Structure 1
């Protein structure tokens, strides 16, 4: 089974708004609980489903198991 994953920073997808919020929180002018989540590198498309037969002759299908394309979301 081939497993491809996504990793890395998503700084390029940040807007000026995101940068300002980060700066305010970093300088303790904004409570950390008010910070919106940061963009992260995630799969935006997956390889085809993978089906296999186990030792008990039961078919299993694994969906969304390997990244085809990555993006910042």
Structure 2
């Protein structure tokens, strides 16, 4: 499995998984190396170490282009930004009601369905990533990396 070393890093997986109750596209813990982000804006306190992992925010990963899974042949390393964290504080009355109905099994998802009773931490804006392939040609992939994250749903 590919990992990249970045200053002030924490361990998270490069492979995506969907543990019960998590949103699609959020990583489980423990496999790759990711840099912390989340610098406090002027006048704001930086969240505690434990709070950073729970709130929806952008994380950074230095990764080889060929490991992106898009079929590009390049040894360049690029910065991939993704959204991570929970959105339980953003729950609405809809989410609370849906959770209750699911627990009571009044709503039973089909075998290929997944019903989430909480908002998901997802990109709300994307940015392009450019790199050079092995033929010395510049490639640009639009909407590859997250530029902003928010609780959606």
Is 1:62 the counterpart of 2:135 in the alignment? no
Equivalent-residue separation in structure 2 for 1:55 and 1:44 (angstroms): 32
Greater Rg, structure 1 or structure 2? 1
Correspondent of 2:125 among 30, 37, 45: 45
5+ residue gaps, structure 1: none
Q: Tell me the SS of whatever aligns to 1:24.
A: helix
Contact 1:4 1:67 survives alignment (8 Å): yes
- Shift in CA distance, 32/50, structure 1 to aligned 2, threshold 3 Å: closer
How many residues matched? Answer: 72
Q: Secondary structure at the match of 2:130?
A: strand
Structure with bigger strand share is 2
Q: Which one scores higher on RCO, CA 8 angstroms, separation ≥ 6? A: 1
Decide which structure has greater helix share: 1
C-alpha RMSD of the superposition: 2.3
**Distance between the aligned counterparts of 2:134 and 2:107, measured in 1?**
56
Distance 1:44 1:25 in 2: 28
Q: Secondary structure at the match of 1:32?
A: coil
